[in-house]
Every structure is written in C-alpha cells, then in structure tokens.
Structure 1
Amino acid sequence: MPTDALGRFLAALDPHHREAVADRPAEEQERLAAAWERELESDDELDTLDELSPRAAEAEAARRVMARDV
C-alpha cells in the first residue's frame, strides 16, 4: 500500500480516473493529491466515514476532487 499522498490518492481513485490522472503532468498530479488531502482533513462527514471505513472515505474524497476538477 502506498504511503505518499500521490500514491494513496491514485489508489483511492476508480480505474478510469486513475488512468486519466496518471496521464497528466507530475505537477498536476501533485496538485490533485494535495486537494484530496485537504478534502480528507477538512470534511467532518468524511471523518465519520473514515472511522467506519478508511478506504471508503478516501474514495469519496477522491471522487469529490475529480468532480470539481472536471
């Protein structure tokens, strides 16, 4: 399991988005990973979900970041 933010973000994405992000420049990937970390840290709803299922919380945060990016 990846331990860096970008690796964790890519792991949280669905396969379609993972491929799309992997095709982007490195700085864009890092920007998205940073946005994903901010989403995880700032949303109280995700805190509750994280207690029940950390992977589900990470996937939801990734979905939200990608929805805003499109």
Structure 2
Amino acid sequence: MATDEVRRFLAALPPEERSAVEGRSPQEQERLAAAWERELESDDELDTLDELSPPAAEAEAARRVIEREA
C-alpha cells in the first residue's frame, strides 16, 4: 500500500526534510517513497548497513533520494 510506504519514508527523514516533503502533493510523496524503496533494494552498501541498523539504512536511503531531488 502506497500510504504505508510514504509513512515509512517520512519517518526515515530528518524533521526539516520531513516537513518539506509533507508539503508536496500526495503523488509527489508517493513518487519519492517509491524511489526510496528502490534505493533500499538496489544498493549493496545499504544491505550491509541494514543488517547492522535498519533505521540507519532507511535514513541513508532517504537522504540520497532527497539529495538527488535538490
């Protein structure tokens, strides 16, 4: 469900970025959340980090997605 994915993506963001993303349209939020999921799935470094700290891996993937958007 896209809403759960967006909620998880928003939770992985630092507060200032979360506020900025929450101000975007629901479609844009879903697009960013989908990019975040792809980042988590495709990066081997994040797989290793995920084994040590899943929240850290999610936060790093979120940071990368937001950085690409800037």
TM-score, reference length from structure 1: 0.95
CA–CA distance in 1 between the matches of 2:36 and 2:69?
A: 11
CA shift, 1:32, in A, is 0.1
Match of 1:19 in 2: 19
**Higher relative helix content:** 2
Q: In the alignment, which residue of structure 1 is the partner of 2:9?
A: 9
Runs (4+) of structure 1 exceeding 4 A deviation are none
The alignment-based identity, stated in percent, is 75
Gaps of 5+ in 2: none
May I ask how many residue pairs the two structures share in their alignment? 68
TM-align CA RMSD: 1.0
Unaligned runs of 5+ in 1: none
